[in-house]
Structure formats: structure tokens, C-alpha cells
Structure 1
Amino acid sequence: MAAEHSAARFPVPRIPRCPEGAQGYDVAEVDAFLTRVREALEGPGPSPLEGRAPLLSTHVRATVFSGARGGYRPEAVDEVLDTAEDALAAAEREQVLCLRGPEAWQQHVEALTVLLRGRIERPRAQRFRHPRRSRAQGYSAAHVDVLCERLGARLTDSGPLDPAELRGAVFPPAHGERSYEEQQVDAFLDRAVQLLLALR
């Protein structure tokens, strides 16, 4: 996934660290991941012989770092990761347009849109699974539904919604029929971020 001017596209600022006794993200793990991002943007990607899959924008949100005292401040790392995801998504778009043409990219966007619309167009309180156990905690269905409707408005160009709002979405806890299963909602939000980046 070669991309020109990747340093400008993905500037990595000096990441502040937590006080010595406070818990942050492991410095070595974060540095290694950001190095992979730069390599993905600057070069052709790993060879199959290296045994390592290419780094994609969808991998960024799934990345988890170990905790370490005196490590990088989590909120600062999260901001850098948002920039990394944006840069990788833009490079992926350029690669598809270059290698397969605009029609292939449009098909990709339309497939994502259809997938998300299928969920958004369901009735309120029925868009996602409820936790299997009645006492299990999930996300407030009412609050998730509001965000789904905002996404639906964005897809019809009748309302603004930035990927950052999905990345930072926090839902109050709820139980039983008033809640949605967290894992399923999180997976949906991942795809929603992917689509909004593709629509830029």
C-alpha cells in the first residue's frame, strides 16, 4: 500500500507519557505498531515470505496495548490512532482506484452501505441482539438507536456525522430488553467508521 507524502499524511507527534506511577500504554508496543503504520504507508507492504499480513485501516480500532506504569497517555495514543486509521483508509482507497478503478471502489462503498442500512432500517429496540441473560449489562438501546438514526441521516445527506463521533461514542449501561449486546454494536460501529471514511 504505497502512498506518497505519507509523512505529511500521518505526522506522529511526540506522545506524552503518564506520571511514573500512573498506568498508560506500553511504550514499546505503541512504537512498534506506529512503525508498522508508517511502513504500510511508505512501502509496498510485507512480503508473503515474511509471514505477516498487510496492515489495514480496520486493524487500527482492534489494536489493544498492554498497560504499563509511566507509559504513553491513552488519550494521546488514541488521537494518533485516529489519524493512522484515516491515513490507511485514504491509502487503501487510492490503491483500489489505481489498481481496479472507480467502479470497484463504488461497489465496495455500496456493499458497506447496504450492510449498514439493513441494520439501521430495523425498528427501534430491535436493531441488535439483546443480552442472552436478563441481568447481563449491555448498551442502552435507546441511545444506540439515536446514533443509528444519525448515521441513517448521514447516508441520505440529511445530517452531519463525523467518524470521530462514532469512535468516541459512549452509551449508558442498560439491562434486558432495554439493552443491546455490546460486541454486536461495537462491530457495527467499526463498519460504520469504515464507511464514513470511504465516503470522504
Structure 2
Amino acid sequence: MDPTFPLARKPRLGYNTAQVEEFLQRARRAYDGAALPDDEPLTSEQIRLTAFAMQKRGYSTDHVDAALARLEDAFAAQERQVAARLHGDEAWLREARMTAQVVSNRLARPEGERFERMNPLVLGYSVREVDRFTERLTRYFRDGWPISVEDVRSVVFKTQRGGYREAQVDLVLDAVVDVMLAVR
């Protein structure tokens, strides 16, 4: 049987093939409305937060990550359709606007103070790099400047001692993705 994704080339590790296959089966069932009784509900946010163990000769991380991004988009579109049917498009967009306002307020803070800082002996995200990226996000929210969901999903920051708390930055980036998917 052919693998679902290309395998990682030596000496690189790839994603655990069994975990990926199991997740994809669960996602397919959830999307089709045929979830098994013991399947956990699956949302676009959970797809974004999914992680797999690494293994030799596992699936190519680039290929799986790209598939997960497409899967997240499909689930987000489905979630929007369901919410629009239940509550109307205006309620869905109102929720997206509220989230966008919370994110915009965070991004409007002064440079170097947008997120909680780590202890000077502990690594966090580079303050300069995060602030530079948040300027792009500010222009997106304020002026409609182009930035893609993929730009936000794939951004990588260097680390520095005393940098921004990673979990807090990641949470805001997740909220940005949520807003971008909601207004597509």
C-alpha cells in the first residue's frame, strides 16, 4: 500500500505514520458527520494545535503540515456554515469582530510591552521579531494590508533571554488565524 504522504528523507525525522493515519481517519469521520461514539469532537482550532510524535522514516513534516492547514480551512468553513445557519451570518461576524478588537488592542501596546516578558534567565520569543511581525498584523487589521493565513501559521521567531512568553504570543496568533478564517 502506498503511503499517504512522502516519507522524510534520511537523516531527518518525520511524523509518526500511525498517529497521522489515525488522526486523518478521525478527521474524515468528523467532517462527514460519521464520528464514532468514542471519537472526541474535532474543531479547526484542535486541528491547528495537533502535534505528532517524530520517528525515523516518518511522514514528511512539510507535506503533513500543508494537509493539516487545508483540513483546518475546511473545518473552519464548515463551522462557519453551521454557525450561520444557527445564529445568522451577522452573529458569526460580530464574534470575529470582537476577537479582532481584542487582538488589535493587544497589538496596539508599545513595542517591547505587547506581551508578558520571561525572566531574564529564561528563553522566550525575540521581542524585536515579534514586534516586527505584529506591525504587519496591525496593518492587516487597521488598513487591510495583505497577509495570508499561511504567513501567520508559519511564522517562526528566534529566541532570546527575557523574550516574550511564547504561549501568550502563540495564543494571539491562533486568534488572528481564527479571525482570518472567519472573514474569508
So what's the TM-score if we normalise by structure 2? 0.91
Matched residue, 1:4 = none
Aligned to 2:7, the other structure's residue is in SS state coil
Match of 2:77 among 77, 81, 90: 90
Indicate the SS of the match to 1:134. coil
Between Structure 1 and Structure 2, how many residues are aligned? 182
Given the alignment of the two structures, is residue 154 of structure 1 paired with residue 140 of structure 2, yes or no? yes
Look up the match of 1:3.
none
1:29-108 maps to which residues of 2 (within 5 A)?
29-43=19-33, 45=35, 50-108=37-95
Q: What is the CA–CA distance in structure 1 between the aligned matches of 2:45 and 2:176, rounded to whole Å?
A: 11
| Deviant stretches of 4+, over 3 Å | 19-22
Shift in Å, 1:117: 1.4
State yes or no: 1:137 paired with 2:127.
no
Q: Distance in 2 between matches of 1:93 and 1:128?
A: 30
Q: Which runs of 5+ in 1 are unaligned?
A: 1-12
Find the aligned partners of 2:139 and 2:10 in 1 and give their Cα distance. 46
**Correspondence for 1:191 among 175, 180, 183:** 175
Deviation at 1:156, TM superposition (A): 2.5
Return the offset for 1:14.
Answer: 3.8
Q: Secondary structure at the match of 1:68?
A: strand
User: Structure 1 stretch 37-46 or stretch 120-129: which is displaced more?
Assistant: 37-46
Identity %: 36
Q: In structure 2, what is the equivalent of residue 164 of structure 1? A: 150
Q: Which runs of 5+ in 2 are unaligned?
A: none
2:165 paired residue among 178, 181, 193: 181
- SS of structure 2 residue aligned to 1:188: helix
RMSD of the alignment, in Å?
Answer: 1.9
Paired residue secondary structure (1:180): coil
Q: 1:19 to 1:171 in 2, by over 3 A?
A: closer
What does the per-residue CA deviation read over 1:15-49, in whole Å, with 9 as the maximum and x for residues that have no partner? 10124764211111101111222222211656xxx
What SS does structure 1 have at the residue aligned with 2:31? helix
- Structure 1 stretch displaced more, 156-165 or 54-63: 156-165
Show the counterpart of 2:18.
28
